[in-house]
Amino acid sequence: MALDFSQILVVGVSSRALFNLEIENEIFKNQNIEGFRKYQLEHENDLLTEGTAFPLIKSLLKLNEIASKQIVEVVVMSRNSPETGVRVLKSIKHFNLPITRWAFSGGEPLSPFIDAFDVDLFLSKDEIEVQKISDNSDCATALVYDPPTDYIPEIDRVKFAFDADAVVFSEESEHIYKEKGIEAFHQHESENEDVPLNDGPFAELLRKLSTIQEFLPTTIELTPLRIAIVTARNAPSHMRVIKTLRHWGVYVDEAYFMGGLSKDKVLKAFGAHIFFDDQETHLDGSCKVVPSGKVLYKTDSPLKKYEKKKLEQKMNVQQQFGKVVG
């Protein structure tokens, strides 16, 4: 009989997002599979240290201890072989993480296995893998940054923070802003205040989080699973966000409309276990204070082309500056 995951949050996490495997990753890139295999076997009994996603995974799994039923399932997904993955398994056991499902693909891409494991959220440090999943799956997926150095996670609660446009909601409004400017954006949002925003890549994840909140033992205002929207929007574009969430039947504990201000101080005060955004301008600051993940645009997205253009312009400026300095 197949398991029903409709009321269970399934998180897929790469071994490199869960644990710090940066040295091992460099060995793999420089010495290929043979050098990596040799290193892993020689260090099989050396425990791994925590990676960016570790606090989130640990706190999510603790929710099962206080919920009325199982509400979280974690799958460790790795391109290791079962042999080289033994070190990961030993580290999971050491940290007493109640994880019972693993996928070791032996070098093959992980993207085909996302749907096979019913994954709702996938976290990885492999940009190519994240892009493939973003292009070919409805699973919410993010490229996690290196962990912040002075981050101390809250133990008894789990806190998710989301950007709004191109993350929870579709790219439509953000595209208007980038193409026509802030005034056109505000006008569009005011005129469409009562029209629900379309789903973004993390909309289904937000709905699933809202669903599992119902099985936690406290009132919804004091739930140990807290959700925040942290967006660059401000008045008058804020009302469309609030009305869309109400239309979806999704309860969000907190919302911060920043109006272009830096998000990192609010995220630090909120104490997010993970923050998802699509723009490096926000993530460059947030990743220094809370674990953060970048939501990649689909390859055929207009915003992907805009992002590529901005990157090329930045590189051209750097090259010109280098010539002047030289």
Catalytic residues, which ones?
A: 163
Handedness of CA 307, 209, 151, 86 (dihedral sign): negative
Closest-CA residue to 95 (of 58, 150, 62) = 58
CA distance 144 to 132: 15
Enumerate residues 6+ apart whose C-beta is below 8 A from 141.
114, 121, 122, 123, 124, 130, 133, 134, 201, 295, 296
In 3-state terms, what secondary structure has residue 293? Answer: strand
Instruction: Give the Cα separation of 236 and 255 in Å (integer).
Output: 15
* 274-277 β-sheet, strand order: 101-104, 72-78, 9-14, 121-124, 140-144, 292-294, 274-277, 158-162, 225-231, 254-257
What is the distance between the alpha carbons of residues 14 and 185, in angstroms, rounded to a whole number? 37
* DSSP result, 100-155: -EEEE-TTS-SGGGTTTTT-SEEEES-HHHHHHHHHH-SSEEEEEPPPPTT----S
Instruction: Give the SS3 label for residue 70.
Output: coil
Name the burial class of residue 207, with classes exposed (0-12), middle (13-18) and buried (19+) by CB atoms within 10 angstroms of its CB. middle
- Which two structure tokens, joined as six digits, stand for 123? 């976290």
DSSP 159: E
- Residue 135 near residue 129, CB atoms below 8 Å: no
**Strands 140-144 and 121-124: what pairing?**
parallel
